[in-house]
Amino acid sequence: MENKELLVRYKNLIYEGKDYAYLKRELAKESLPREEFLSLLVSLDEHLAHYQKAQQERQKSVQQMMLGMGLLVLGLLLYSFSLTILRTKYLFAFGILFSGAWIFREGYRAYQVPLEEIAQRLHANARRIKRKL
């Protein structure tokens, strides 16, 4: 099997959630020459690091959605409190409400990006930086 085919196959294993030790064990079963084995292992390690970074980006978007939802609920509570108890309308509640909705929407948009796409973008950026150095 060609190196590119192996790389694609093992990248798919990374996206299935396999760890570095598993990938190394499976790659050792391929009985490749040492140079190719190490080259593929380094490449897979880079892809695994970018996949983990993509997972962190996904987690950030979940946290952003939670923050937005919290602000949205806070804005609704302040607005309902001002209407019922104080019998007035405070405009700052609308600011909190709309800010929360916007933050939630942006977090949701970031969450919908597939992990593979984020990881590929990170990998391309890392290669571009390496070329500049």
Instruction: Summarize pLDDT for 77-99 with one digit per residue, the tens.
Output: 988 888 888 777 667 788 899 99
Look at residue 73 and tell me whether its pLDDT is greater than 90.
Answer: yes
- Measured between alpha carbons, how far is 27 from 7 in angstroms, rounded to an integer? 10
Q: Which amino acid is at 106?
A: E
Q: Which two tokens mark 118?
A: 């984020």
* C-beta separation of 90 from 53 below 8 A: no
Report domain extents, the chain: 3-132
Question: Is 0.85 surpassed by the pTM of this model?
Answer: no
Three-class DSSP category at 30: coil
